Amino acid sequence: MKIAIIAAEIAPWAKVGGLADVIGALPAAFRAAGAEPVVIVPGYKAILDVVHATPVATGLSVTLEGAPEEFSILQASDARGTPMQLIVHDGYFGREGIYGTDSRDYPDNLRRFIFFSRAAAHAAAILKPEVVHAHDWHAAAVPIVMRADPVLAAQFKHTLRVFTIHNLAFQGIGTRDDFDLLGIAPSYFSIDSVEFHGLMNLLKGAVRIADGVTTVSPTYAHEVTSSPELGFGLEGVLREKNGRFVGILNGADYHEWDPAHDEWIASKYSPAHRDGKVACKRALLEAAKLPHRETTPLVGIVSRMTSQKGFDLLHDALDDVMRLEMQLIILAAGDPLMEKFFQRAESHYRGQLCVMLEFDNSLAHRVQAGSDAFLMPSRFEPCGLTQMYALRYGSAPVVRATGGLRDTVSEFNPASGTGNGFVFDRYTASEMVAALARMIKIYHDVSAWQRLMTNAFAADFSWERAATSYLQLFEKLRRDLAIS
């Protein structure tokens, strides 16, 4: 089965969050399962600077609001050897950032990613895939133009259109004027496709038009169809897909995230040889300029700094959290006001709190390896990958029971020895503090903690399982919709 995967991020070169990790790992898993994937991503400067790419096609163009925009397609391999096509347009993708710089988005992102989607759809048409698998709002125009552009519709008559939602908080919303960027008939600005409350909504259009829609965990799939807060207005539209909207839990990329062969960390370790983790903790404390205290658990956070990730909760609860006997390292960048707050808090809680306001992959690995526990108090979480990485590093996740966090972490029960972390239900400071207090109590019971670590190490979220689920879904949809 030939699959064209279209997305705006790809690890390790163009990464803002978990979408990049998924696009960096899923294609290899598809190949291992016998499929034939090709990844299509923007030809960002960050990629073109480092990969060896050869031309596939030049002098192509799509017309945006009456003016032709030229692009070329280059062919390279992704980091795991899967064919990767790059949509090259210097004006849109020759910039330093992916979506912007210094936490400010580029003002023309709608235009950039509608252009990308249209160009990528043309690139996919040349490949003649059985399935086009587009991800998130940046590629949401792909299934839309595959149906609404008559030339593309003819080329894709036998192609299944699947759309995966990684985060419903970002929908690609614009005006009626922005709709013209799609270059499709005005009739598509309607309730049956991309119009939503008088605006253009690309994600909504993709949900309507795609043959199948997925999201990245079963619980999130349930939540977004049942809760207006989490559905961000699209709960009804998603419900209408019925069996053609499903949640498939992401995998964790253990090629990149495994303490047994992690090149970034102070000392490698494994479930059978855990000593290295002690050395990793020491090295991390030293880097964070925190004193080493034998019996104090070290809690890590690696995150975008946004309210999605629970930073407003942590803001409200920080004094109570700091009253607990624990140290906290926050590696996070994002919201400038939150950054300022946590930076100030660091000087207030010197020796107990370290705040690193950066996006740094090697530090992310070192925080995972050196922490005893990993805090993720998300308001909502479509899947969440960092808690899966934490488990692999033997760091106990302390999470709020939402989305993929609910699907991957379970409360440790010292009596039965089951569970791999600590889970709280309500988005309140007191529940979060109570979960951290439970963690600390277990930490002081050495044998219970070793048991908890064993359970954490044993969690296995392989991409093979996820890739197989996707392939089964693609086959089922092709059968049900009689696409052949």
Binding footprint of ligand ADP on the chain (CB under 6 A): 17-18, 21, 302-304, 331-333, 359-361, 364, 383-386
Q: Which stretch binds ligand GLC (CB under 6 A): 18-26, 291-299, 411-419, 458-466?
A: 18-26
User: Shortest Cβ contact with ligand GLC: which residue?
Assistant: 18
Residue 397's identity, in one-letter code, is P
Could you tell me the smallest distance in angstroms from the CB atom of residue 384 to ligand GLC?
A: 5
Strand (E) positions, 166-218? 173-174, 195-196, 199-201, 212-215
Distance CA 474, CA 2 (A): 11
Binding mask 118-157 for ligand GLC (x = CB under 6 A): ----------------------------------------
Question: 331 contacts which partner out of ligand GLC, ligand ADP, none, CB within 5 to 8 A by kind?
Answer: ligand ADP
The alpha carbon of residue 118 and the mean position of all alpha carbons in its chain are separated, in whole angstroms, by 23
Answer yes or no whether residue 11 interacts with ligand GLC by CB under 6 A: no
DSSP alpha helices (H): ranges in 166-268? 176-179, 202-209, 218-226, 228-231, 235-239
Distance CA 1, CA 475 (A): 9
Question: 300 contacts which partner out of ligand ADP, ligand GLC, none, CB within 5 to 8 A by kind?
Answer: none
Question: 216 contacts which partner out of ligand ADP, ligand GLC, none, CB within 5 to 8 A by kind?
Answer: ligand GLC
Could you tell me the smallest distance in angstroms from the CB atom of residue 435 to ligand ADP?
A: 19
Residue 33 to residues 36, 37, 449, 467, 471, Cα–Cα distance (Å): 9, 11, 37, 7, 8
Could you tell me the smallest distance in angstroms from the CB atom of residue 393 to ligand ADP?
A: 11
Binding mask 231-250 for ligand GLC (x = CB under 6 A): -------------------x
304, 17 in Cβ contact below 8 A? yes
Could you tell me the smallest distance in angstroms from the CB atom of residue 212 to ligand GLC?
A: 17
* Other Cβ atoms within 10 Å of 102 Cβ, number: 8
51, 74 in Cβ contact below 8 A? no
Q: Is the CB of 388 or the CB of 435 nearer to ligand GLC?
A: 388
**The tokens 């660091």 sit on which residue?**
346
Q: Which of 382, 397, 419, 421 binds ligand GLC (CB under 6 A)?
A: 382
Binding to ligand GLC (CB under 6 A): which residues in 394-413? 404
Element (H, E) at 338: helix 336-348
Binding to ligand GLC (CB under 6 A): which residues in 202-231? 216
Q: What is the DSSP string of 269-334?
A: --SS--HHHHHHHHHHHHHTT----TTSPEEEEEEEESGGGTHHHHHHHHHHHHHSS-EEEEEEEE
Question: 46 contacts which partner out of ligand GLC, ligand ADP, none, CB within 5 to 8 A by kind?
Answer: none
Q: Is the CB of 129 or the CB of 334 nearer to ligand ADP?
A: 334
Residues found near ligand GLC in the complex (CB under 6 A): 17-19, 22, 166-167, 216, 250, 381-385, 404
